[in-house]
Amino acid sequence: MYAGPTLHGVTLGGSTVPPRLVPAEPSVSSPYSAIFAAPGTKGFSAAGFVGRMPLSMVGIGIVTMISELTGRYGLAGALAATLAVSQAVLGPQVSRLVDQYGQRRVMRPATVMSGLALGLLLLSAHRGWPDWTLFVCAAGAGCVPSVGSMVRARWAAIYGDSPRELHTAYSAESVIDEIVFIVGPILSIGLSTAWFPEAGPLLAVCFLLAGVAWLTAQRGTEPAPHPRGAGDGGSAMRVPGLQVLVLVFVATGAVFGAMEVVTVAFAEEQGHKAAASLVLAVYALGSCLAGAVFGLLHLKGDPARRWILGVCAMAVSMIPLQLVGNLPFLAVALFVAGLAIAPTMVTTMALVEQYVPRAKLTEGMTWTSTGLAVGVALGSSVAGWVVDAAGATAGYTVPGAAGVLAAVGAFLGYRRLGPAAKGLGVAVDDSDDEGEQCMA
């Protein structure tokens, strides 16, 4: 446990950043116990868990709901893709407003708007209204705040000057992400298949409203807003390193989006559609375990190298899926594939924190989520078409191809990562154990 947090004001570029909690020297060796010693961290992390449940429930819930009501996987994938594209367009804008005006002032109205749109989507599906109404509602739901980015921004406000602690905090959040992806699909698919088709997405809306209300009620750990001026440099996407991360994450998101749609269809072909939630949970479990171990490590060297290795490992892990013939084999293959996810995600967040100025950090983190969302849209849509045309087994070629594209993009963009960090004044030390950026 930490002996106690201390308050420090930090001067950057001539202006003083408001005091924040900085941990004292740890007295025990548990990194996870240490990071949660700072006041308020348990509360906002727990609220973030609740608020992120829709992340794993809405997309797969829409796919399950529409397939249950209509049997049309193409329509289901297209709706999930529409929601993802809407989130990709609106999400960074919401986060940019958060950086300027604060989390509470922006997240609450955005969440209400998104919740209303999702509610209308469920009503439209239940009533059998024309397809275009479904797409309009899905597009309107895209203003949902990126709760994960908001929580990570709070961790950065506390441990921004403590790379090791921030690495552990990001790893903890990655584990929470994977727990969300273990629990969420089980709830969403299970409720929609066993109770009524709209049950899964409906519960997701409840989680979203409750989680955001709880998180924004915690004012003590909310990062200070950074009003924009004439010389703010524009969007965080101007940073070359962030551009590389986002583009590669488009292909990575295609892996995830396709995987959900194809796995649900494959389980249905096997006569056990409800088992898709369990199989997807195994996928997330592999990532969860890898993330928990990764958070205990203090690695040396360039985080960008570990990032490219992680992306390549994710691509290689898609190979066994091309040989899948039954659900047990699929579960094992997905567990192995999941081992590469969390370490890659943790490394990505570390690189974002390294490249993007503090005043644009929430926006920068959300841009990576945007890349994933665009990829999910493409992957789920293409996978739905392939499943309709050639069956679920053939559908696994979609995440396989997306994994190859991600690896190729990482290799092509690797040279742009190192200079971006140096350009922002962040040095990467391969030898100094105390001073390196070891957040990945």
Q: Tell me how far apart the alpha carbons of residues 389 and 383 are, in angstroms, rounded to a whole number.
A: 10
pLDDT of 424 reads 40
Residues 204-257 have pLDDT tens digits of: 999 999 999 999 999 989 998 887 654 455 677 777 788 889 899 999 989 988
Closest CA to 45 of 137, 164, 175: 175
Secondary structure string (H, E, C) spanning 290-320: HHHHHCCCCCCCCHHHHHHHHHHHHHHCCCH
Concatenate the DSSP letters of all residues of 15-26 into one string.
Answer: EEEEEEEEE--B
CA 178 from chain centre, in angstroms, equals 9
Neighbours of 273 (CB within 10 A): 18
Q: Could you state, in order of their start, the residue ranges of all structural domains in the chain? A: 40-224+237-423
What ranges in 28-162 are assigned the alpha helix state H?
31-35, 41-70, 73-101, 103-127, 131-140, 147-159
Residue 391: partners with Cβ closer than 8 Å, 6 or more residues away: 265, 269
Q: Tell me how far apart the alpha carbons of residues 216 and 104 are, in angstroms, rounded to a whole number.
A: 5
Whether the Cβ atoms of residue 193 and residue 63 lie closer than 8 Å to each other? no
* Placement of tokens 């804008």 in the chain: 93
In the chain, % helix, strand, coil (3-state, to 5) comes to 75, 5, 20
Burial of 28 from C-beta contacts in 10 A (0-12 / 13-18 / 19+)? exposed
CA 143 from chain centre, in angstroms, equals 15
Q: Report mean pLDDT in 10-residue bins for the chain, 440 residues.
A: 37 41 48 87 94 87 86 81 83 88 93 94 89 91 89 89 85 85 81 88 94 94 77 68 88 88 86 81 86 79 84 92 87 91 86 81 83 80 85 88 92 71 37 34
* Placement of tokens 């990071």 in the chain: 35
pLDDT of 233 reads 58
Query: Residues 338, 344, 349, 352: what is their CA dihedral angle, to the nearest 10 degrees?
Result: -150
Residues 283-333 have pLDDT tens digits of: 888 888 888 888 887 767 778 888 899 899 999 999 998 888 888 899 999
pTM for this entry: 0.74
Burial of 111 from C-beta contacts in 10 A (0-12 / 13-18 / 19+)? buried
CATH of 40-224+237-423, one of 3.30.565.10, 1.20.1250.20, 3.60.15.10, 2.60.40.1120: 1.20.1250.20
